[in-house]
Structure 1
Amino acid sequence: MDSQTVLRVNMFGEFSMTYGDTTIMDQNSRSHKVWTLLEYVVTFRDKEISQNELIELLWPEEDDIGDPSNTLKTLLHRVRSQLGQLGEEDLRKAVTYRRGSYRWAPEIPCHIDVSEFDALCKRASKEDDPNKRLSALQQAIRLYKGDFLPRSALDSWVMPINTYYRTQYIKIVYEAIELLTQTGRFSEALAICQKAVTIDIYDEGLHLAMIKCLLATGAQRAALQHYKYVTDLFFTQFGVSPSDEMTALYKDVVKTDKNMELDFGVIKEGLQELDPKSRAFCCEYEFFKDIYQLEARGAMRTGEVIHIALITITSDSRKPLTQKQTNLTMDRLGEVIGTSLRRNDVYTRYSVTQYLMMLPSANFENAQMVVNRIVAAFRSQYPKMPVTLQNKVLPLDPLET
């Protein structure tokens, strides 16, 4: 082999082997067992693997495969043919067979991303210098390009290894973000967050860190958009409301730090709705609370009666609603509420299955009529929806001083 050229093996995000300018990778499902054998031998490259272990791995539920030992040797020949495509004859012998056992030839020099990842994580954990620790963490994060052997992700032997590496990756991501934000390097932290949320989209902590980094870099609008994306994601996928930490962060998102603006016309223009519609005003719950408290102050002074109404969806049978049914029902109910209320009325999605509305200048009877009209409109438009709409109307409590 050329002493200057080293075999490069990638196992994060894909399984590929590169030697010089030539790369081979699994793109043909018909050769899945060939690549499984190669992946397994590379993964457990430090030990000899018995042919019985490989036979159980490759044909776990196939009793009639003729002579399994010879079938495995035939598969080894196909593996060597794949390795031969790299253009180096010695690489054909990278998977060896001796005395009934298979293994990766230890004399073949190679760089394997998972090994480098492990080494960098270990180095970072032992490093006392924050800068050197951060450097090792960043190198490891760059190596992690996705799940371990994603095309074999459902194989039972791959799953625990994939879980280990993903957990380790998320751990070092949090460490790197903390070190970067402590020194004000928010743009670098943001880049790490943006990659990490594509790998583990349901880790709320990563989304929180990303929103904070967006705020710190002045990307106010992007922070607000990402907040709305995350809350919608958790509503629709898991049926859970935003956490207290997420809703508290929302208040920081909407606090815009403006430079001094002397043109009052520009200020007025900025206050106007970008897309005014003939429907009620839908807002985030944190905004709804502010509006409620403002109305409560006014009610104390003027004596005006204001009511709030709550509509809750439940299954109309003993079988609970699926998450898909809940999401569809809430989307449709939200549209009906928006078009049934007046433009100056305000409503919000309070929880996974509830909408909260504020109805100013309405006595109890009128407020109840409004809610009944919403329920009737929903029933008229979606008569086959398997849900019951429960509602409750209460007066707003004036703020006593």
Structure 2
Amino acid sequence: MSDHLPVLKVRLFGGFSASYGEIPVSFGRNTTTKAMKLLQILLYHGDTGISRDKLLDELYGREELADAANNLRVTAHRLKKIIVDAGLPSHNYINIKKGIYRWDAPMPTEVDAHQFVILSKDVQACTDKVKKLALLKKICLMYSGEFLPELSGDEWVLVESVHYKNIYSESLQELCKLLIERGDYEEALRFCEPACQLYPFDEWQSVRIDCYMALNRYKDAVQEYENTAKLFFEELGIRPSEHMMQQFEQMSSRLNYKPQELGDIKERLKDDDVRGGAFYCSLPSFRDSYRLVSRIIERNGQSVYLMLCSITNGKGMPMDKPDKLEALSGELLNTIQQCLRKGDSFTKYSPSQFLILLVGTNKENCSMIFDRIQRYFSREHKSWKQYLDYFVSSVAEVDRQDSPIQFNTENKTW
């Protein structure tokens, strides 16, 4: 490597791009070809490298090829030519040693995702509030979008994307807390704006509402709430969180709205001591609730359905990749919590399955409920729809042999 050459700067957040010194590097319009995927994988793994087997899986895992290894050799050869044709110095660029593929460039290479992780570790080790504030600002500014969004359907990208989003969300939350403590509300508003655009259903608007209220900009706060409520209803068919509705109640009282103008919203805010969304409980607690409901409906004939929501590999089979399953499972838990009513309860039955008790609904509505769950679950990654499947059965029929959901009575966990 020559330190005299310009730095190759690589951006993986918000889309793949690169610049050599001050000059943008164009590798072609299509960033999803096998050669371009190989380039992005090599740049991401850097000096550490990636094993040949893992590389083959990430490039050709879903494809049935007679000779994937030969395809990799051809793709690597094609990539070397693409790199040089893009205007970078003539060099080998791909180092293969003991089955490990590494990015090997003659110039220093900086990857935004690598710097992002370094900064997050610096934040954790920092005890000085002023320095921490500066580091958090750098992290939030560096995150210009999802990790490699063009490849969001690839499993390795999906897992890394969730990881980076979590770092960004935690950093932004801490940054906003520090800014609000200092009274820098305008600054907090500015940093929350990209998050509201990137993740409109994560309720970063709630932080903006707090800032508007602190600045006595109540009309702006109300507008922020109304836009968010409209978005949630039109896109997902649900309402904002209980916290955000409580914010609205505070705003409305200061703006002296007339009761008839906010009648429907105030009606929903009456029971403001009860947390909104479905009730998550442990498996033993859910089992007790299920048994109680089973007894109640024997007397009153109320309609209650049990839904089994499962995470699959996209082909109807159980998900067999632990990292990916963990990421999807965490998102599904949050989705069910957000999408269902207070009167519904749910639990995690297994690493890939959730049980949902739907009270006072009918079979037709169950499919609509699953559609809502699926929409919310895939709100940021449309390809995630393929990973969800469900079965539903009336609680009164679960014990029947023809029920799509049955419990093994010998299974001590149930």
Alignment TM class, shorter chain as reference: 0.5 to 0.7
Question: Taking structure 2 as the reference length, what is the TM-score of the superposition?
Answer: 0.60
Residue deviations 1:296-332 (CA, integer Å, cap 9, x gap): xxxxxxxxxxxxxxxxxx9996311626999xxxxxx
Q: Which residue of 1 aligns with 2:29?
A: 27
Q: For the residues of structure 2 that align with 1:173 and 1:227, how far apart are their CA atoms?
A: 20
Partner of 2:87: helix, strand, or coil? coil
Work out whether residues 9 and 19 of structure 2, in 8 Å CA contact, stay in contact via their aligned partners in 1. Answer: yes
Q: Return the letter of the residue paired with 1:39.
A: Q
Correspondence 1:284-323 to 2 at 5 A: 284-287=263-266, 318-320=363-365, 322=368
**How much does 1:33 deviate?**
0.9
Show the counterpart of 1:177.
176
- Cα gap change, 1:176 to 1:94, in 2 (>3 Å): same
**1:246 partnered with 2:247:** no
Which amino acid is 1:318 matched to?
Answer: K
Q: CA deviation at 1:190?
A: 0.2
Matched, 1:165 2:164: yes
Counterpart Cα distance in 2 of 1:25 and 1:225: 43
Return the alpha-carbon distance in structure 1 between the equivalents of residues 73 and 195 of structure 2: 41
Aligned twin of 2:215: 217
CA distance in 2, matches of 1:290, 1:62: 52
The 3 A distance-change label for structure 1 pair 219 and 27 is farther
Partners of 2:4 and 2:268 in 1: CA distance:
69
Is the 1:15–1:26 Cα contact (8 Å) retained in structure 2? no
Q: Say how many residue pairs are matched.
A: 281
Q: Report the CA distance between 1:283 and its aligned residue.
A: 2.7
**Cα distance, 1:286–1:101 mapped onto 2, change above 3 Å:** closer
Identity %: 26
The alpha carbon displacement at 1:173 in A equals 0.2
Extract unaligned runs of 5+ from structure 2: 271-358, 373-414
Alignment of 1:1-400 (within 5 A): 3=4, 5-20=6-21, 21-24=23-26, 27-28=29-30, 32-65=33-66, 67-90=67-90, 92-98=91-97, 100-105=99-104, 108-204=107-203, 206-256=204-254, 283-287=262-266, 318-320=363-365, 322=368
Could you tell me whether the CA contact under 8 Å between 1:16 and 1:26 is conserved in 2? no
CA contact (8 A) 2:35 2:78 kept: yes
3-state SS, counterpart of residue 5 of structure 1: coil
Displacement of 1:203: 1.3
State the alpha-carbon separation in 1 of the partners of residues 371 and 63 from structure 2.
41
Mark the CA change 1:284 to 1:8 in structure 2 (over 3 Å): closer, same or farther.
Answer: farther
Partners in 2 of 1:325 and 1:48 — Cα distance?
Answer: 41
- Alignment partner of 1:131: what SS? helix
- Asked whether the equivalents of residues 10 and 113 of structure 1 are also in contact (C-alpha less than 8 Å), the reply is yes
Aligned mates of 2:40, 2:371 — CA distance in 1? 41
**Counterpart residue identity of residue 26, structure 2:** I
Q: Which residue pairs with 2:391 in the alignment?
A: none
Structure-2 change in CA distance of 1:239 and 1:94 (3 Å): same
Q: CA deviation at 1:146?
A: 0.6
Amino acid of the structure 2 residue aligned with 1:32: T
On the 8 A contact 2:35/2:79 being kept in 1, the answer is yes
Conservation of the 8 A alpha-carbon contact between 1:236 and 1:323: no
SS at match of 2:26: strand
Please state whether the residue corresponding to 1:147 is helix, strand or coil: coil
Report what 1:352 is aligned to: none
Residue identity in the other structure for 1:60: G
Q: Retained in 2: the 8 A contact 1:236–1:324?
A: no
Max radius of gyration: which structure?
Answer: 1
Measured after TM superposition, the shift of residue 281 of structure 1 is: 5.6
How far residue 74 of structure 1 moved from its aligned partner, in angstroms, is 1.8
Counterpart AA for 1:209: V
The whole-number CA distance in structure 2 between the counterparts of 1:289 and 1:35 is 51
Distance in 2 of aligned mates of 1:190 and 1:26: 37
Give yes or no for contact 1:94–1:108 (8 Å, CA) kept in 2: no
The 3 A distance-change label for structure 1 pair 319 and 46 is same
Change (3 A) 1:80 1:106: closer
Residues 237, 323 of structure 1: 8 Å contact kept:
no
How far apart are 1:99 and its partner, in Å?
5.1
The residue matched to 2:159 in structure 1 has which SS? helix
Moved more, 229-238 or 281-290: 281-290
Query: For 2:10, what is the secondary structure of its paired residue?
Result: strand
Give 1:156 deviation, angstroms.
Answer: 0.7
Separation in structure 1 between the aligned mates of residue 370 and residue 98 of structure 2, nearest angstrom: 56
Q: Which amino acid aligns with 2:167?
A: Q
CA contact (8 A) 1:15 1:25 kept: no
1:57 and 1:238 map into 2 onto residues whose CA distance is: 33
CA RMSD of aligned residues (A): 3.3
Contact 1:189 1:213 in 2 (8 A): yes
CA distance in structure 2 between the partners assigned to 1:325 and 1:148 by the alignment = 26
Return the letter of the residue paired with 2:168. Y
| Structure 1 spans left out of the alignment, 5+ residues | 259-270, 274-279, 292-313, 327-401
